[in-house]
Chains A and B, each alone.
Chain A
């Protein structure tokens, strides 16, 4: 595989969708319109936790222009589940209840009713007239409160899934608990020379995609439903709608728009089923667009966490034991990524003895959604902070210490399987060799390093490649293009067929047009859908061999495919008259399609149960103003095993984007709630994501350790870059200030509190 030389893979062609996106011509979720379109507005709970006593809609229905008003009664309470791959499954009862509260409002912003009207003003006016009587309940806003013996219970029927804590009886806010263990932890700690232990906390943070959730739904008199929406997967959006509403999937067509970011947050549905029900009731198409405030308050952020962790090491740097207790907020319904956190937090190191327990805890905050390597960044923040402490305690270089313990091919991952070829050691070597690691620091600066791991996903994908009569080609897949996957797919077709990338038109298709394809997520598109694309292109090549065999009147086995420039077939033996047959190019063969058997269409469907794990190491220089507590990232380098970079610019973009989000998580991002559980900073002004001027150019180093599961060696790259930054930043803060900070974000006031300059506020 490594011997293969590529013509297109590894180059940086201009993306096919680039011009439309930079000129504003591309159509995003809110851009779609239809004749007779109604505007839908959601009525949301002002209470974080309240029983809904009654809802009266007559006054709202009487507003001129109002065509439909719905409440939880119009969203069926389903018990259906939707499986995703082998392990994952979505509980659609919860997603349905999250769409519109049935009995209780479980967070501030929880939908309780919705209105569709001929104008947005009429819809808003009517929404104000929906009279909801609430019986407010005590909001449960922290893990401490949720697990207290006298805590209000969010769900009366909730029991702990997995391995409940001993003595747990009756309803609980602990939705799930799992354990991972290896070896004898107590004995190993007893034999360790150095033991470090800390408790860490991270805040609820949002993905912060720039495009709010938006959709248009049209429910026809014949029961046929069309949905245009911004989603990470047309098929999952369709299946969510079908299962929640009890409609046959064949009656719903989802047309995914261009997507302005998702990061996991556009996997769930928030508006689509509501818009379908409103459209059904009104008999007209309905458009719904969230405001930024609604995105923050009512779409899925990721968990706030509390993590206690302990590491034990020998004086030579060998980490011998690890123990961790992870507590993740799930928001209002079960399903935090605590289990993934448990599986990821020790995945970078070969530790012979460990015990990790992970808890999934419901609180009165929005139901969490996936966020880029869900669960891994918070737990890794704890691990990598403690690894830094071990390095300091024994006086060892932090990269040296990590290299000494780093996992390699053949090691058992803490979550079970044996690692195949992985690149953590090569990544750490590249980090150590990078000029950043040895560059001098300024007087107010500190440097931190941290590693990160993410599984990456495979799942199911389909692809269709169609050869055109002029030798150009089209490739159709079902994955909304978030990270430049369209151009990557065109490059794969180009590589296999030996035609220029510009002669391949990549399309993201709707659910009627594309073969079934799992969502854009899990860093899986370039890997798994890419595999389908490569096979579909190879299917074309095989057909071209057959066509050439027909033209030459020889056995197909006597024809070979050469994806040269241009792609061509050659005859492996002489013609009957003894002359050498000149090769036939793909352009010639395409022009003869009709005469040689008709259209040439390549198809492939793959199920990729596994994927190549991803590892990264990041180096951060932080400049800390000790008088104000304000810090600035002065220099940042991201090093990652990317398997094989199909389009290096987009791989680098993923690494930089992940680093930027992780830095924001570390420095200033947090959900701020008042005493009643009402979010106070539901906007980009006070939810402080980094802006462009906050960050230096993030340097990237691509390490390529081929993934044997993929024909080119591709492994997922999009998620792992958000894993190291939390600890890389915190370790740099430790280096700059001498103080170990264990709570994020490292906002200026928290830093001055940590330095002892001011009292805790």
Chain B
């Protein structure tokens, strides 16, 4: 009969040890993806390593440098954090799109990253916001940019004995804001057919001085689209520029046709979404 171990370590070191000592062990954060995959028979771990009792993995800390999100912090805590919503409205919107209110009570941004769905809403927003992933392993910590964390559908750069402990974001400079848009046929309870996040920095005259655009669900991983961001810098985000950025986002897309949408549709609509995200981020930046 089926038998699975459950461990709830209290420290990162303990968690790393448990992971290193059992090749079949799987990290459990909110479990909103893992338990579904487990019940469907897609994943059959020998042990669940529940990381929610590790203090370093849960919590939101904000200082002058930026934000540190414990990897297992529930999405609901992020959605309810007023200052986060003010500084990174796009990221918080993306978090708010995860599942339902019930799912957000369990699911976490770290879990969303580690599940490595190409369609994960938070990943594109994190990439646009220059997020970095703090990874702990037997040899200590390493830090990698969010756009390098996922390596394909369901796969990440994490080694078996490593743990994502936090996501850190630099505090946005003056007149900087972000936005995230996704396309789902319904209004909620769905998975992105395509998604796009943008972060835009304007100078006092309204000229774009920095920009990042990331797209999701149109390639094996969420992508940072450098060409789209570059197209915006030095412009006042006129219509022609926005179209160039949209085209760059579409060009970067390497979508597949599946039950959620055709490749042609995804390629087109990710450009539309990128443009909308840029326009929204710029409008927010102007208000700062």
Closest to A631 in B: B185
Question: By CB atoms of chain A within 10 A, which of B183, B258, B259, B267 has the most?
Answer: B259
Contact call B191/A685, Cβ cutoff below 8 A? yes
Q: Does B2 contact A (CB under 8 A)?
A: yes
Q: Does B286 contact A (CB under 8 A)?
A: no
Contact call B263/A761, Cβ cutoff below 8 A? yes
Q: Does B240 contact A (CB under 8 A)?
A: no
Contact call A693/B269, Cβ cutoff below 8 A? no
Contact call B193/A748, Cβ cutoff below 8 A? yes
Given A628-B269, A748-B193, A752-B268, the answer on whether A761 and B262 have CB atoms closer than 8 Å is yes
Contact call B262/A693, Cβ cutoff below 8 A? no
In the assembled complex, the CB of A212 is this many whole angstroms from the nearest CB of chain B, namely 15
Q: Does A132 contact B (CB under 8 A)?
A: no
| Residue in B191, B260, B262, B272 whose CB lies within 8 Å of A628 | B272
| Residue in B191, B259, B272 whose CB lies within 8 Å of A627 | B272
Q: Which residues of A contact B257 (CB under 8 A)?
A: 761
In the assembled complex, the CB of A495 is this many whole angstroms from the nearest CB of chain B, namely 42
Q: Does B42 contact A (CB under 8 A)?
A: no
Chain B proximity mask over A8-45: 1 for CB below 8 Å, otherwise 0: 00000000000000000000000000000000000000
Contact call A758/B264, Cβ cutoff below 8 A? yes
Q: Which residues of B contact A690 (CB under 8 A)?
A: 186
Would you list which residues of chain B between 230 and 266 have a CB under 8 Å from chain A? 257-265
In the assembled complex, the CB of A46 is this many whole angstroms from the nearest CB of chain B, namely 14
Closest to A758 in B: B264
Q: Does A121 contact B (CB under 8 A)?
A: yes
Given A681-B259, A758-B264, A761-B262, the answer on whether A748 and B188 have CB atoms closer than 8 Å is no
In the assembled complex, the CB of B103 is this many whole angstroms from the nearest CB of chain A, namely 12
Contact call B183/A748, Cβ cutoff below 8 A? yes
Q: Which residues of A contact B204 (CB under 8 A)?
A: none
In the assembled complex, the CB of B236 is this many whole angstroms from the nearest CB of chain A, namely 22
Contact call A685/B263, Cβ cutoff below 8 A? no
Would you list which residues of chain A between 253 and 269 have a CB under 8 Å from chain B? none
Counting chain A residues whose Cβ lies within 8 A of the other chain, the interface size class is 20 to 34
Closest to A748 in B: B185
Contact call B183/A630, Cβ cutoff below 8 A? yes
Please measure, in the bound complex, the distance between the C-alpha atom of A627 and the C-alpha atom of B273, giving whole angstroms. Answer: 9
Closest to B188 in A: A693
Question: By CB atoms of chain B within 10 A, which of A121, A632, A761 has the most?
Answer: A761
In the assembled complex, the CB of A259 is this many whole angstroms from the nearest CB of chain B, namely 24
Q: Does A593 contact B (CB under 8 A)?
A: no
In the assembled complex, the CB of A327 is this many whole angstroms from the nearest CB of chain B, namely 25
Chain B proximity mask over A670-710: 1 for CB below 8 Å, otherwise 0: 00100000001100011010110110000000000000000
Please measure, in the bound complex, the distance between the C-alpha atom of A685 and the C-alpha atom of B260, giving whole angstroms. Answer: 10
| Residue in B185, B261, B263 whose CB lies within 8 Å of A667 | B185
Contact call B268/A630, Cβ cutoff below 8 A? no
Contact call A761/B265, Cβ cutoff below 8 A? yes
Contact call A759/B264, Cβ cutoff below 8 A? yes
Please measure, in the bound complex, the distance between the C-alpha atom of A752 and the C-alpha atom of B263, giving whole angstroms. Answer: 13
In the assembled complex, the CB of A634 is this many whole angstroms from the nearest CB of chain B, namely 13
| Residue in A668, A672, A752 whose CB lies within 8 Å of B185 | A668
Please measure, in the bound complex, the distance between the C-alpha atom of A630 and the C-alpha atom of B186, giving whole angstroms. Answer: 9
Closest to A627 in B: B272
Contact call B183/A628, Cβ cutoff below 8 A? yes
Q: Which residues of A contact B2 (CB under 8 A)?
A: 121
Contact call A748/B187, Cβ cutoff below 8 A? no
Q: Which residues of B contact A122 (CB under 8 A)?
A: 1
Contact call A691/B186, Cβ cutoff below 8 A? yes
Q: Which residues of A contact B268 (CB under 8 A)?
A: 752, 757-758
Closest to B265 in A: A749
In the assembled complex, the CB of A162 is this many whole angstroms from the nearest CB of chain B, namely 36
Please measure, in the bound complex, the distance between the C-alpha atom of A686 and the C-alpha atom of B268, giving whole angstroms. Answer: 21
Please measure, in the bound complex, the distance between the C-alpha atom of A406 and the C-alpha atom of B242, giving whole angstroms. Answer: 52
Contact call A121/B272, Cβ cutoff below 8 A? no
Q: Does A747 contact B (CB under 8 A)?
A: yes
Contact call B259/A680, Cβ cutoff below 8 A? yes
Q: Which residues of B contact A680 (CB under 8 A)?
A: 258-259
Q: Which residues of B contact A749 (CB under 8 A)?
A: 261-262, 264-265
Given A121-B2, A748-B269, A757-B268, the answer on whether A693 and B261 have CB atoms closer than 8 Å is no
Chain B proximity mask over A570-586: 1 for CB below 8 Å, otherwise 0: 00000000000000000
Contact call A685/B185, Cβ cutoff below 8 A? no
Please measure, in the bound complex, the distance between the C-alpha atom of A681 and the C-alpha atom of B258, giving whole angstroms. Answer: 10
Contact call A752/B187, Cβ cutoff below 8 A? no
Q: Which residues of A contact B185 (CB under 8 A)?
A: 630, 667-668, 688, 747-748
Contact call B1/A121, Cβ cutoff below 8 A? yes
Q: Does B22 contact A (CB under 8 A)?
A: no
Contact call A686/B265, Cβ cutoff below 8 A? no
Contact call A748/B259, Cβ cutoff below 8 A? no
Q: Does B80 contact A (CB under 8 A)?
A: no
Contact call A688/B186, Cβ cutoff below 8 A? yes
Q: Which residues of A contact B265 (CB under 8 A)?
A: 629, 748-749, 752-753, 758, 761
Contact call B190/A685, Cβ cutoff below 8 A? yes
Please measure, in the bound complex, the distance between the C-alpha atom of A747 and the C-alpha atom of B258, giving whole angstroms. Answer: 13
Contact call A761/B259, Cβ cutoff below 8 A? no
Contact call B188/A691, Cβ cutoff below 8 A? yes
Q: 8 closest A-B pairs (Cβ-Cβ)?
A: A761-B262, A749-B265, A758-B264, A693-B187, A672-B259, A680-B259, A627-B272, A668-B185
A-B contact list, 12 entries, CB within 8 Å: A121-B2, A629-B269, A632-B187, A690-B186, A691-B186, A691-B188, A693-B186, A693-B187, A694-B186, A748-B185, A757-B268, A761-B265
Not counting A629-B265, A667-B185, A752-B268, a sample of 5 additional A-B residue pairs whose C-beta atoms are within 8 angstroms of each other reads A628-B183, A680-B258, A691-B186, A760-B264, A761-B263
